[in-house]
Amino acid sequence: MAHRDFVSRRLHSFLGLVPIGLFLVVHLTVNYFATRGPESFNKAANFMESLPYLLFLEIVFIYLPILFHAIYGVYIAFQAKTNVNRYGFFRNWMFFLQRWSGLFLVIFLAWHIWETRIAMALGTTLNYDMMANILANKGMLVFYIIGILAAVFHFSNGLWSFCVHWGIIVSPRAQRITTYATVVVFILLAYVGIRAVFAFTNPGLAF
Amino acid sequence: MSENKTIKIIITRQDGPNATPYEETFEIPYRKNMNVISALMEIRRNPVNIKGEPTSPPQWEMNCLEEVCGACSMVINGKPRQACSSLIDKLETPIRLEPMKTFPVIRDLAVDRSRMFEALKKVKAWIPIDGTYDLGPGPRMPETKRQWAYELSKCMTCGVCLEACPNVNSKSDFIGPAPLSQVRLFNAHPTGAMNKAERLHTIMGEGGLASCGNSQNCVQSCPKGIPLTTSIAALNRDTAIQSFRDFFGSDHQ
């Protein structure tokens, strides 16, 4: 009975959390090993690479969901006529930023996957040095920091939207409390992500 | 002193549905307790613009003049609202009046809101009780629920929520927040609930509930304070359950 749009939107929302959101948390956690030094990061990255049926896991839990989420997300983003200049409400800003962070992420992730996973498939070793080399470039460093903040924001705010779109939170109070909770998620994940980036550029830096 | 005071009003005008919009400025003498409607009537009485040129009287719609019919909705100083309840003394001048461009403009400030009526028909925003014989009295509604439902029933189909919504536009077929909230109202009614699944299936279709992106401008803009986003979130829950029932099958009656 349900129309394709309804199913696609719900699927889009669900995939954003499982597996994409979960993968983001795992990914940022693996990165965080860099704060314990190159050896630690290489060990963690090698463990991920050594998982059995890795290609299957990658295709089913990463590539396909991200492709669907990205392509359908671009369609959703361009369907809106954003109006934050006229309606500067908090949620409207979140609506606006969710769409623009998503569009930015399509570009960022395409670049990021090209530079790391595809480079690895083409023969470059994926290790601490690879990221240290990429991030030695100041422009790339800024690009990665914005990319991580966009991803973490998109995930945190998407967590809120997921709860609303699946009818988990209904009342205004439930929605408000969930907003606060997702702000906390954003701050914590942003810290994990940014700190890991600086572990590649300034290995001694502690904060 | 007050005899010399004037108010400047800038109206976005359009001579017909396909004509190019243009701005025309008017200056009218100030009177106490004016609202946008009485200011427009003043212009209509003497349709001469600020340059002294005679022009056609601006067109707009109005009916109840007490913010219950929704006919006089227009964009006043950038915000969609009813002209009747917009008091001149509380508005920044010059006052800018524009039509709600989410809807097709008929002429000047008058827009065609019939898409909202179409949406209400589509979602079956009524309780079907007609038949060939007397069905007798329906189930009763608890008073507390009636009071709650009354808030949802205040919707006057004014179109402000559609105007404020970033997802109601020419690129999407989203029906908008108002008819969705009516689904919740009629599904909450003990007799209306007999068509609950039918209404849910409709809003699970094209241009329905899924097109909401939760910018929540609607609930902030609604002149009647209707909890539109709460209705939408509640319908999200109802449709999620309905879709599971449809997919897996259900014995639930």
Q: What is the pLDDT of residues B93-142, one digit of tens each?
A: 999 999 999 999 999 999 999 999 999 999 999 999 888 998 888 899 99
Cβ of A173 under 8 Å from any chain B Cβ? no
Q: What is the pLDDT of residues A64-108, one digit of tens each?
A: 999 999 999 999 999 999 999 999 999 999 999 999 999 999 999
Q: Contacts of residue B229 in chain A, CB cutoff 8 Å?
A: 172, 175
pLDDT in the model for residue A136: 95
pLDDT in the model for residue A2: 58
pLDDT in the model for residue A206: 64
Q: For residue B225, what are its two tokens?
A: 């304070």
Q: How many CB atoms lie within 10 A of CB B20?
A: 8
pLDDT in the model for residue A170: 97
Strands B110-111 and B105-107: antiparallel
pLDDT in the model for residue B228: 98
Q: Contacts of residue B227 in chain A, CB cutoff 8 Å?
A: 172
Q: What is the pLDDT of residues A38-64, one digit of tens each?
A: 999 999 999 999 999 999 999 999 999
Does residue B53 have a pLDDT over 70?
Answer: yes
Which among A76, A168, A172 is the nearest to B230, CB-wise?
Answer: A172
The reply to whether residue A167 touches residue B233, judged by beta carbons under 8 angstroms, is: yes
Distance from CA of A136 to the nearest CA of B (A): 39
Measured between CA atoms, the residue of chain B closest to residue A89 is B217
Residue A65 near residue A57 (C-beta atoms within 8 A):
no
Strand partners, A193: none
Does residue B56 have a pLDDT over 70?
Answer: yes
pLDDT in the model for residue B251: 79
SS3 A84: coil
Model confidence at B253, in pLDDT bands (50, 70, 90)?
A: low
Residue B120 near residue B183 (C-beta atoms within 8 A):
no
B58 secondary structure, DSSP code = P
Alpha-carbon span B60 to B17, nearest angstrom: 14
Share of chain A above pLDDT 70, in %: 98
Query: Rounded to 5 degrees, what are φ and ψ at B6?
Result: -125, 165
Q: How far is CA B43 from CA A10, B90, B92, B99, in A?
A: 51, 19, 18, 17
The contacts of residue B114 (CB under 8 Å, 6+ apart) are none
Stretch A11-16: mean pLDDT: 97
Residue B20 near residue B45 (C-beta atoms within 8 A):
no
- Ordered alpha helix ranges (H), chain B: 36-45, 114-122, 143-153, 160-164, 177-188, 196-203, 217-221, 228-248
* Domains of chain B and any CATH numbers: 6-111 (3.10.20.30), 114-248 (1.10.1060.10)
pLDDT in the model for residue B3: 60
First to last CA, chain B: 71
Stretch A160-183: mean pLDDT: 98
* Residue-averaged pLDDT of chain B: 95
The contacts of residue A152 (CB under 8 Å, 6+ apart) are A24, A28, A186, A189, A190, A193
Q: Judging by beta carbons within 10 Å of its beta carbon (0-12, 13-18, 19+), is residue B23 exposed, middle or buried?
A: exposed
CATH 1.20.1300.10 fits A4-201, yes or no: yes
Distance from CA of A92 to the nearest CA of B (A): 4
Distance from CA of A86 to the nearest CA of B (A): 7
The reply to whether residue B211 touches residue A9, judged by beta carbons under 8 angstroms, is: yes
The reply to whether residue A171 touches residue B230, judged by beta carbons under 8 angstroms, is: yes
Q: What is the pLDDT of residues B192-209, one digit of tens each?
A: 999 999 999 999 999 999
Q: Which of A4, A72, A92, A179 to mutate to test the interface with B (most CBs of B within 10 A)?
A: A92
pLDDT in the model for residue B250: 83
Q: Contacts of residue B164 in chain A, CB cutoff 8 Å?
A: 83, 87
Distance from CA of A3 to the nearest CA of B (A): 5
Find residues 85-124 of chain A whose CB sits inside 8 Å of chain B.
Answer: 86-87, 89, 91-92, 94-96, 98
Q: Contacts of residue A92 in chain B, CB cutoff 8 Å?
A: 166, 215-217
Stretch B4-15: mean pLDDT: 95
Does residue B66 have a pLDDT over 90?
Answer: yes
pLDDT in the model for residue B131: 86
* Residue-averaged pLDDT of chain A: 95
Residue B191 near residue B138 (C-beta atoms within 8 A):
yes
pLDDT in the model for residue B135: 83
B90 secondary structure, DSSP code = G
